[in-house]
Amino acid sequence: MIPNKIDSNLASDAVDKLIEMDPMLTQYKPQLMKRYNSYLELKNTLEHYGNGIDNFSMGYKEYGFNRTEDGIWYREWAPGAVKAYLTGEFNNWNLTSHEMTRNHNDIFEIFLPNNEDGTTAIKHNTRIKLCLILPTGERVFRVPAWIRRTVQNLKSVYWDPPEPYVFKHKSPTKPEKLRIYEAHIGIASPELKIATYKEFTQNVLPRIKYLNYNTLQIMAVMEHPYYASFGYQVSSFFAPSSRFGTPEDLMELIDTAHGMGIYVLLDVVHSHACKNTNDGLNHFDGTDHQYFHPYPKGYHPLWKTLLFNYSSLEVLRFLLSNLRYWIEVFHFDGFRFDGVTSMLYLHHGIGGTQFTGNYEEYFSDATDLEALSYLMVANDMLHSLYPNCTTIAEDVSGLPGLCIPLAEGGCGFDYRLGMGIPDMWINFIGSRREEDWSMNDICWTLTNRRNNEKTIAYCESHDQALVGDKTIAFWLMDKEMYDYMSDFSTLTPLIERGIALHKMIRLITSSLGGESYLNFIGNEFGHPEWLDFPRKGNNNSFQYARRQFNLPDDPLLRYRYLYEFDRAMNELEEEYGWLNSPQGDIHFTNQIDKVITFERGNLLWVFNFHSWKSFADYKVGTKHVGIHDIVLNTDNKRFGGFGRIDESCRHFSQPGRFANRDQFIKVYIPNRTALVFKYSN
């Protein structure tokens, strides 16, 4: 079947819409057309040669192991192999009794009929391996590429429980704005161990609900041999990590979250793969170019991982099917795509590459059109088949149109991560004296994002907490957190400062930084120290690979103040919805006073970052005539403040031009304090 000719008007119309949103793109229309046509050509190819994208992307129902009423089919793509055999506990590891048949698409297949008593030829939870004969005559053993269950030490398992998990709850409706709790299952316990899906379900989901997060983003789900890789060196893309429990345990976690009204995202890794051979995709069929580009194009020199060949139809089938598998089998609601910058550019954003915002950086020969086309097709498929799905791009480059709908010339993601924001905070806290903090720089960084492209703001994620860095709380308070976080200990100047600024940093990031907000597990209460997974270099210690939830739970420790503030902040956002309101209107900054005021979400925000100076009767411009009441005060005693403000005091607007407003109120704003006001007539 010959693919239909691409309608050039379709690309031109879409690109024109994008240029209308950003006229600076006008001179790059040829590159944008090339980008869009590349996507359309790939989509067209899949529609015709793949018998429709819907069918093409359901490979997980055809490849790997699939049980029918009569038996089990097993199929594997291995073009470089001469012969293939299935072996395992089911045939006492006989290497030749179950030879597979090769079809015209280089796919080996075998059907194992049921036993006479109706049971399957391969028992649930028994070990299996693929044995391939290479052209050299060499025999190699592989973990099946589409395997759904692996355990450590190279064990692949046939997984077909007699009683499949039955989901009880429907997915929540796609939120208009995301308040994301980013979590890693293994570290989600104060104990020195790897935590489990079941423990997370029982112990952490109630916390997420209590803190008023509406979205859970789970890291390190896809199986990875090296625990310390944080889940970013994936070996088995269809197998949830067995370190944390069974696939059914993960299903129960997601189902329970849905029952609580929590939307669930998977941190999906399609930018690269682990270079392991015995339990990964590397040299799967004996060649270095089956799933990946050959060396050196297929090797990431910084990550030391392998890069997919997005021009291969079978690789695309594998990846697109992988997305549908996690949605249809596990009921994930969407994805955070890891390493998008590495995919977008042939230089992968490394080797001294700097993204300055110059548009020439985005539209050069360095663009990887094959990878970008895959991402666009993936977004097209996900949003067409699953309108409730959300996609997030981890991109540091700021590629124009990345989070614009495909019909409007964009790449189709819903959100991008605001990756410059945490860098700013670490720079301020770690490298500048507090008196040198620039209010204009804070406002610029928090609002410097592309029009019509949604951004997820965050102060810190897992990246900032890794060994070699530390959490914001530890940057602020350092080793004094070990001795002075008890209510019975001296409130030192460093602890006082840290608690105050930790709240203000979170609040101004949430209120100004984007259209959604993300918090990494534990940072809601100012988790101390850093993250360091068990590895040879630390004697395989779990000391820094855990989350000490005992800290906010202790009524005598000051961590609970930060924890309760996080809850109050999210609760207020749910009520007033500033995240899905237009960008904040900053109408006043004063570098000497260290004051910032702005309006967003029908609220008035006042921040005083001054380290020691409080202001009485401080003028704050407002658009509203009437009463201004405090709805959030970071200095409240229940948040670890000093209680210097009478929150029952009502602030009446007064006529008079100030800060580009026709009205103003006078407020008492203590040092290192933020106030949020609502309006009433």
Please identify every residue annotated as catalytic: 338, 394
**For residues 541 and 467, what is the distance between their CA atoms, to the nearest angstrom?**
13
The angle formed by the CA atoms of residues 441, 442 and 444, to the nearest 5 degrees, is 60
**For residues 331 and 256, what is the distance between their CA atoms, to the nearest angstrom?**
11
CA 472 to each of CA 422, 469, 505, 520: distance values in angstroms, whole numbers, following the listed order:
9, 9, 9, 11
**For residues 427 and 493, what is the distance between their CA atoms, to the nearest angstrom?**
21
**For residues 52 and 552, what is the distance between their CA atoms, to the nearest angstrom?**
52
CB 602 within 8 A of CB 680: no
* Cα–chain center distance at 302: 21
E strand or H helix that includes residue 666: strand 661-669
E strand or H helix that includes residue 222: strand 222-223
Q: What is the dihedral of CA 191, 196, 201, 206, to 10 degrees?
A: 20
Q: What is the DSSP string of 601-643?
A: TTEEEEEE--SS--EEEEEEEES--SEEEEEEETT-GGGTS--
In the chain, the amino acid numbered 347 is H
What SS3 state is found at 106? Answer: coil
In the chain, the amino acid numbered 144 is P
Compute the chain's Rg from CA coordinates: 27
What SS3 state is found at 237? Answer: strand
What does the block give as tokens for 634?
Answer: 């970071």
What does the block give as tokens for 409?
Answer: 């010339």
Buried b (16+ CB within 10 A) or exposed e, 570-604: bebbeebebbebebbebbbbeeebbbbbbbbbebb
Q: How many CA atoms lie within 13 A of 93 on its CB side?
A: 2
**DSSP secondary-structure letter at 118?**
S
CB 137 within 8 A of CB 69: no
Buried b (16+ CB within 10 A) or exposed e, 478-497: eebbeebbeeeeeeeeebbb
| Closest to 464 (Cα-Cα) out of 476, 455, 452 | 476
The length of the chain in residues reads 681
**For residues 607 and 586, what is the distance between their CA atoms, to the nearest angstrom?**
11
